[in-house]
Structure 1
Amino acid sequence: MNNKRTKNILRLHPYLIFVAGILPIFSSCSSSDAKMESEILTVSAITVEPTSMVTFKNYPASLEGISNIEIRPQADGYLKKIFVEEGAYVKQGQPLFQIEDNSYKEKYNDAAAAVQTAKANALKARIEVDRLQNLVEAKVISKVQLDNAKAVLDAENANIAQASAVQKGAEISKAFTLITAPVGGYLGRIPYKVGSLIGRNDQNPLTVLSDIHVIYAYFSMSETDFLEFKKIYKGNTVEDKIKNIPKVTLILPDESEYPQKGKIEMVQGQFDKTTAAITFKASFPNANGLLRSGNTGSIVLPQQHENVIKIPQQATFELQNKVMAYIVGTDNKLRNVSLKIAGKDEESYIVSSGLKAGDRVISKGLQRLKEGISVNIK
């Protein structure tokens, strides 16, 4: 019986050893936690005061030149010659396309001949009027014959005017066969080839000419941002506020910064019903043609804030999708507060609620802190 009890004790012996081993560990942890609780940490803190700050907001933008002009033929015929290449820069008045003009030349020549015939007939009628005028004065013939001759002269003069109008129309039609650039700019795609039959009713233009010496960047602002815009910038009207906006920056799709600064020029008169946004336009000089119509980018709009609470981003932490900070109370104990962020730059937040002037905010080393502990302020 004693041997059996001894065996049972030996069977439990490893477990007894294990329990005996971990008891000191728990005891050590408990004493360590108690020690940490009893220690007063020394922390760095800042006292927040109202200040000024510039923040930047980015808005996606689409770029367009001053004008995008569709080049369309005003005469029908076969495309005889193309003087330019796709994408080339052309000056105002530079030839672009030549339409076969033989038939137009013939029409012009016929009209010019009709003018000469009308002038000859008018001269003949004038001579007849002068002859009859002398006979009437000599009382050789009656005045009726002279009146008839004058009527014929008037008709011939009318024929001259009509023939001249036809000639002018033929001249204009012939001129339409040479298509020139209405403004300076860059050419788009040219879908037609030499020999193509083109006309005034074609669906596609010969090309598109973009005047891009100045580029407009169009971007949209939400209702909330627009209300903030009206608060930030000085002026009694929106037009006055636009004049007080500093020059803006254009960020290109490769994240590079366009070297020229732009100026906000216009705001749309009303909000879009589908997007609940209002459109702004910024203009950028583009003398070197680096920007093209159809490009995209983003506008960086600077916003000056006065008398705001600003804290470093490193003085905050996130908890359940909220931005939080630790403040030190008058009893030197920590309390965490939820912050409402009204703006930011690369390093700081603008806090619209959650902090007030005079609050002491822990500025770094937040990982080892928790609410309710006592601290010393460095």
Structure 2
Amino acid sequence: MAKDTLKKYAPIVMAALLCACAIFIAVRSELLPITTGSRTPIHVTTAAVSTIHKPVTIIRAGSVKNAVTIPVNAEFAGSISDVFVTEKQSVKAGQPLFKLQAIPGAAGDTAANPSQAAQSNYVKALEEYNRYQALYELGGISRVQLENAKSRLQAVQGGSVGSKNSASATTTAENRTVTIESPIDGTVIGLTRAPGKMIQAGEQVMALGNGQAIEAVVRLEQSDLYGIQLSAPAAIEVASQTITGQVAAIYPAVEANQVSAFWVHIKFTSKAADTLKPGMSANIRISTGDSVTVPVIPTAAILQDNQGQTFIYIADNGKAVRQQVDIGETKGEFTEITSNVPAEVRVIKSNLDKIKQSYAIIDAS
């Protein structure tokens, strides 16, 4: 008989135990508020949801690489008549680097066939200008670089191109003097030629780099590139450290004869650790110079429960009401709220360790 009674009431007992456990968990999680009429209201201070201007930052995965150098070569055979820069000097795009004087009859000198040489120079300059124009429209180069390419095109577009007078063309080619300008912002490295030295067409005179052995590189899509400018500040998170930097150069990534993306090269502006090596992964943040308005609340008002959920307490008609929130970046005393929190609410920011869901409160703000 006792066994039959136990079997009869066992489901009821189990249901009662499960209900009690559920109520206990709900109370502990503040899903089921327990209040008493005798609880003394807790004095708290509150703050309104405010806004700040948040800088727009592009965050992408990149890496540390050996610094890229850009060779500066002689356009034709001749003599270097002037050098305007020195080793390790910083230069700006468009700044004169050296002056090249054509020498009649020099080996490799295009003056031997002036008409053909002039036409070849014009075609090269035109191709260069068209390429720079396309890159400028995509945001890949600065306006200065485009203007430099235009100037070079105009320089070779003069009397020698298409001239019917070969003697005139020869004179133009043989007496040609060209000032070579820097194509990028950079640092002069590997300066090997001095004034008066002879040089062949295509020989390297110097190279331009960022003056560092390594740099950070990140790949960006065209949509990202519109917000990036040369010299834009950046932060490189690598090897448990954050290094400041700035955008030094932007080059197109050409795949299947098309510009598929862009490589952004960042030089370090603060000292990097000697442990940094090419190939290391890095998290790179580049400032666009723009900003957006975002809602923020005091960081001190934000709590986290045992399940890792972030929440706040809102003052609502003399009671504390818990509301789950999603958060963004923290800037000093304020943290961005990325979930929907009404602008008119008051967020409790003090005595948070003494209140729970539906506790009576007095706003002393």
Indicate the TM-score class for this superposition, using the shorter chain for normalisation: 0.3 to 0.5
TM-score relative to the length of structure 1: 0.40
TM-score relative to the length of structure 2: 0.41
